Chain A
Amino acid sequence: MAATVIVIGAGPAGVRAAQALVEAGLRPVVIDEGRRDGGQIYRRQPEGFTRTYEALYGTEAERARSLHRDFDALRANIDYVPDTLVWNIEPNAVHVVSGTHHRKMVFDALIICSGATDRLMPVPGWHHAGTYSLGGAQVALKSQGCAIGSRVAMMGTGPLLYLVAAQYVKAGATVSAVLDTSTFAQRVRALPQLLAIPSTLTKGIALMRVLKDARVPVHRGVTPVAIEGTPENGVQNVRVKQANGATLHVSCDAVALGYHLRPETQLADLAGCEFRFDHALQQWLPIADEDGRSNVKGVYLAGDGARVRGADAAERAGRLAALAVLTDTGVTRNEDEANRLRLQLQRFTRFAAGLRAAFPWPAQFAAALPDDTIVCRCEAITAGELRRVVNEMGAKEANRAKAFSRVGMGRCQGRFCAHAGAEVIAAEARVPLEAVGRLRGQAPVKPLPMAIATQADMETSE
């Protein structure tokens, strides 16, 4: 009997993984949280929306079209399970929920293509209504054709900062300012590595032109001071310190924040994958070999969910992970193609290192956060409270600090605050970030309706 392969995620990595499996004669299961395929970057608009590929994806229109077309062609040869959350993983089985319908699906091999979300650094006032992540701001636009506000400030750093700003401009929204915490000099120094993928570099420069033509003020080397607003009206103003020391007020009714991306690793965690601290990235990442094999037999990791290298790399990594599955299950062996993909991925790895240098994570901001700044938005825990459990209760490790302070205990389980929380702990305890460790993942990956219970009972009684 052919191996049962489950692919989680129908973004660039997941689609290309499924495609390679189908080409080899398998019939994979593709489980995706989205209602339609494409993942975040190539998110398909809801049925009935009629924007063109060019309007939706700009320079990436052709790639989006190709991915969607290829996925449509796969549909007859895969079991596609959209609108479905994998909320827990056991050895050789995933547990999924769609609405209130729960089921267990067994696998011989699992390819996790879980994508990435924004890496966030708290700033005083980021709990005001109207504060979004850059990725969230982009989803609103791509999916529903909505802007997050009528005058939007974009703050943080990373390629997405400029991409989302340009997309908002093109969609007709007003971008009050782009506030970049990294400097032009950092960009120049990263140039040699960025040249690993010249086309992407060119596209980045084109984005700058869009912003310039629309006369969007772009400030580099800023230090965020506060997002100001009121509980009634939400965001009204963003305050930053400019590179020259002067204070800048940007009037706006929404802010999009983000400092590049972080992989969504909680599924790998639930699957039992081991993690290792990556010193260059200053992040804990699941261990995976070049082809995506984790340390757990039968569990493979691909795309930005394993290591952020962007969508083009994800397509290759997805395919490469599928080739690894085919090799390991004895279906086919295609070393030539695998070698080609590995070589290509090395360039993306170099480029990703360039992006890190060009748009560095501003770890130093964490130590400087005022005590009353909320770090964990789900549980409304401040930097001061987190520092208190470090100093008074001796919690110098992430899970200990979580147990005492509740940072990372809420709805998002630390997906959005764990990075910054760890930086606050490290700075306060005067230990390296690595020593703080990482929050252990717990199911459910996202909130699980209690009503699934009744559904499951109905199923058993049938």
Chain B
Amino acid sequence: MSERADVIVIGGGIVGTTTAFFLRRRQRSVILLERGLTGQQASGVNFGGVRRQGRALQQLAMSNRALETWRRSRDLLGEDVEFMPSGHTRVCYHAHDAEYFHRYAADARDHGLDLEVLDGAAMFRRYPHLGREVLAASVSPFDGHANPRLAAPAFGRAASRLGARVVENTEVVRVDKEAGGFRVESATGGIYRAEQVLICAGAWANTLSTQAGEPVPLVARGPQMAVTEPVPYVFSTSMGVYTSIKKESVYYRQVARGNIVLGGGPPGPADPVTRRASVLPENTVAQLAQFVRMVPAMRPLQVIRVWSGVESYLPDSEPIIGPSSKVDGLFYAFGFSGSGFQIGPGVGETLAELLDTGSTPIDLSSFSIRRFQRTSSTQAESVTSETSP
């Protein structure tokens, strides 16, 4: 006995759930297999930034698409995932970073992202809470933030309501090509069949891409998150530090009920096997110092909780999105390197389009898994990491 659908999606994070959702809107039958629960790993534990600015320019087309979905999320999902289009601001401490803000703003404009760069008195008038070391601010007025604990599960439920079969607590151990499509086997011996398969299994994707002869230098890391006690809501814009100095790269957002969510700085250890990731105490302490530097008024606040989760990173910090270079009908979307939440629904929509029609107007060539074929023996050591929130 096996179950069959047009498409099998492996992995129930933000990419998997939105792909299933958009496939159903295209009337394609879909089975989503998730080893735990939807949105439990990187998609559920991340900062929750719905941020386009700072992304590589080639991501912006999908990122803009994603923003449209975030804006319509309440209508599409029939529930609130706490998307707040409150603006996102990057600030910096170093002159060369301020110069980069201007360059990036000029480039991004051509990709449909309008930014405003402020400095000096104008910046402090707009953001009087900023520490006096801040040199410049890059403002993206239509970005914002959402609740990562709610988003992917909500897309999963919405996909389910549209007819997708969402199977949780089901770990995929093998994906084999056979006549007429794929045979997908779970750890408990369940067999699922489809013409197309999408692997969007985050830190666990490499095991399956390796079966297809496409190993990649994927490493797992844990974001270092924290949250303060609730305080009066004052910070409408989400803010982060842009810098090449890792420990300076912290970011925050305040949620409507008042808590300030904090993240950034060097990552912590994460283990895909045990599914555990930890926040290193030293990281928390160093992180808090950077927040007090960015926003001195945070000094009297208290942190009530820290958390982490298993994220996956690639050496160039760019994701793999698109068809396998070896197996027809097999597709990938993983390795978002700490920046997959906002763009997730845009990737899902684009993949649904690609799987359904065989093409998409969005150029995915720079995200191909091919780019790792020559260097697939390179290991974790060479990994650089994401510096923007």
Residues in A lying within 8 Å of B, measured CB to CB: 87-88, 90, 95, 102, 104, 379, 393-394, 400, 403-404, 409-411, 413, 442-444, 447-454, 456-457
Q: Which residues of B contact A444 (CB under 8 A)?
A: 303-306
Given A104-B281, A393-B153, A404-B150: A454 touches B304 (CB 8 Å cut-off): no
Besides A411-B229, A447-B304, A451-B300, 13 other A-B contacts (C-beta < 8 A): A393-B153, A404-B149, A411-B304, A447-B302, A447-B303, A449-B302, A449-B303, A452-B288, A453-B286, A453-B291, A456-B286, A456-B289, A457-B289
Docked complex Cα distance between A119 and B235 (Å) = 37
Residue pair B157, A453 in contact (C-beta under 8 Å): no
Residue pair B285, A102 in contact (C-beta under 8 Å): yes
Interface string of B266-297 (1 = CB under 8 A from A): 00000000000001111011111111100000
How many pairs of residues, A versus B, come closer than 8 Å at their CB atoms? 82
Residue pair B303, A95 in contact (C-beta under 8 Å): no
Nearest CB of A to B33, in Å: 17
Residue pair A450, B305 in contact (C-beta under 8 Å): no
Nearest CB of B to A11, in Å: 25
Nearest CB of A to B268, in Å: 11
**B76 at the binding interface (Cβ < 8 Å):** no
**B44 at the binding interface (Cβ < 8 Å):** yes
Docked complex Cα distance between A408 and B369 (Å) = 41
Docked complex Cα distance between A457 and B304 (Å) = 21
Residue pair B281, A442 in contact (C-beta under 8 Å): no
Docked complex Cα distance between A87 and B306 (Å) = 11
Docked complex Cα distance between A166 and B307 (Å) = 43
Residue pair B292, A403 in contact (C-beta under 8 Å): no
Residue pair B303, A454 in contact (C-beta under 8 Å): no
What's the dominant secondary structure at chain A's contact region?
mixed
Given A90-B281, A403-B149, A452-B285: A442 touches B291 (CB 8 Å cut-off): no
Nearest CB of A to B82, in Å: 11
Interface string of B289-322 (1 = CB under 8 A from A): 1111000001111111111000000000000000
Q: Which residues of A contact B304 (CB under 8 A)?
A: 410-411, 413, 444, 447-448
Closest 3 CB pairs of A and B: A453-B289, A453-B288, A447-B302
Nearest CB of A to B32, in Å: 14
Docked complex Cα distance between A104 and B298 (Å) = 23
Docked complex Cα distance between A88 and B229 (Å) = 18
Interface string of B139-179 (1 = CB under 8 A from A): 00000000001100100010000000000000000000000
Residue pair A450, B149 in contact (C-beta under 8 Å): no
Give 18 A-B contacts (CB < 8 Å), ordered by A residue: A87-B281, A95-B285, A104-B282, A379-B257, A403-B149, A442-B307, A443-B281, A443-B284, A447-B229, A448-B304, A450-B291, A450-B292, A450-B300, A450-B303, A451-B300, A452-B288, A453-B292, A456-B289
Residue pair A451, B281 in contact (C-beta under 8 Å): no
Residue pair A454, B289 in contact (C-beta under 8 Å): yes
Which range contains the number of B residues in contact with the other chain?
20 to 34
**B37 at the binding interface (Cβ < 8 Å):** yes
Residues in B lying within 8 Å of A, measured CB to CB: 37, 44, 149-150, 153, 157, 228-229, 257, 279-282, 284-292, 298-307
Nearest CB of A to B234, in Å: 15
Docked complex Cα distance between A444 and B288 (Å) = 13
Which residue of chain B lies nearest to A413 when distances are taken between CB atoms in the complex?
B305
Q: Which residues of B contact A404 (CB under 8 A)?
A: 149-150, 153
Residue pair A442, B305 in contact (C-beta under 8 Å): yes
Residue pair A88, B301 in contact (C-beta under 8 Å): no
Docked complex Cα distance between A336 and B280 (Å) = 42
Nearest CB of A to B77, in Å: 12
Residue pair A450, B301 in contact (C-beta under 8 Å): yes
Q: Which residues of B contact A449 (CB under 8 A)?
A: 300-303
Nearest CB of B to A305, in Å: 21
Which residue of chain A lies nearest to B260 when distances are taken between CB atoms in the complex?
A450
Nearest CB of B to A10, in Å: 23
Residue pair A450, B153 in contact (C-beta under 8 Å): no
Which residue of chain A lies nearest to B153 when distances are taken between CB atoms in the complex?
A393
Which residue of chain B lies nearest to A397 when distances are taken between CB atoms in the complex?
B37
Nearest CB of B to A225, in Å: 30
Q: Which residues of A contact B298 (CB under 8 A)?
A: 450
Contact of B302 among A413, A442, A443, A448 (CB under 8 A): A448
Nearest CB of A to B230, in Å: 8
Residue pair B37, A400 in contact (C-beta under 8 Å): yes
Docked complex Cα distance between A379 and B258 (Å) = 11
Q: Which residues of B contact A102 (CB under 8 A)?
A: 285
Q: Which residues of B contact A400 (CB under 8 A)?
A: 37
Nearest CB of B to A14, in Å: 22
Q: Which residues of B contact A403 (CB under 8 A)?
A: 44, 149-150
Residue pair A450, B281 in contact (C-beta under 8 Å): no
Contact of A451 among B44, B299, B306 (CB under 8 A): B299
Nearest CB of A to B257, in Å: 8
Docked complex Cα distance between A394 and B298 (Å) = 37
Nearest CB of B to A436, in Å: 14
Which residue of chain B lies nearest to A412 when distances are taken between CB atoms in the complex?
B304
Which residue of chain B lies nearest to A456 when distances are taken between CB atoms in the complex?
B285
Docked complex Cα distance between A9 and B6 (Å) = 60
Q: Which residues of A contact B229 (CB under 8 A)?
A: 411, 447
Nearest CB of A to B258, in Å: 11
Nearest CB of A to B126, in Å: 24
Q: Which residues of B contact A409 (CB under 8 A)?
A: 305
Docked complex Cα distance between A121 and B292 (Å) = 39
Docked complex Cα distance between A227 and B178 (Å) = 66
Which residue of chain A lies nearest to B168 when distances are taken between CB atoms in the complex?
A394
Nearest CB of A to B156, in Å: 10
Nearest CB of B to A272, in Å: 10
Docked complex Cα distance between A137 and B276 (Å) = 39
Docked complex Cα distance between A444 and B228 (Å) = 11
Residue pair A454, B299 in contact (C-beta under 8 Å): yes
Which residue of chain B lies nearest to A448 when distances are taken between CB atoms in the complex?
B303
Docked complex Cα distance between A447 and B282 (Å) = 16
Q: Which residues of A contact B149 (CB under 8 A)?
A: 403-404
Docked complex Cα distance between A257 and B302 (Å) = 27
Q: Which residues of A contact B284 (CB under 8 A)?
A: 88, 443, 448
Nearest CB of A to B338, in Å: 20
Q: Which residues of A contact B289 (CB under 8 A)?
A: 453-454, 456-457
Residue pair B299, A450 in contact (C-beta under 8 Å): yes
Nearest CB of B to A461, in Å: 11
Q: Which residues of A contact B279 (CB under 8 A)?
A: 443
Docked complex Cα distance between A245 and B287 (Å) = 57
Residue pair A451, B37 in contact (C-beta under 8 Å): no
Q: Which residues of B contact A450 (CB under 8 A)?
A: 228, 288, 291-292, 298-303
Which residue of chain B lies nearest to A409 when distances are taken between CB atoms in the complex?
B305
Docked complex Cα distance between A409 and B303 (Å) = 12
Which residue of chain A lies nearest to B295 when distances are taken between CB atoms in the complex?
A450
Q: Which residues of B contact A410 (CB under 8 A)?
A: 304
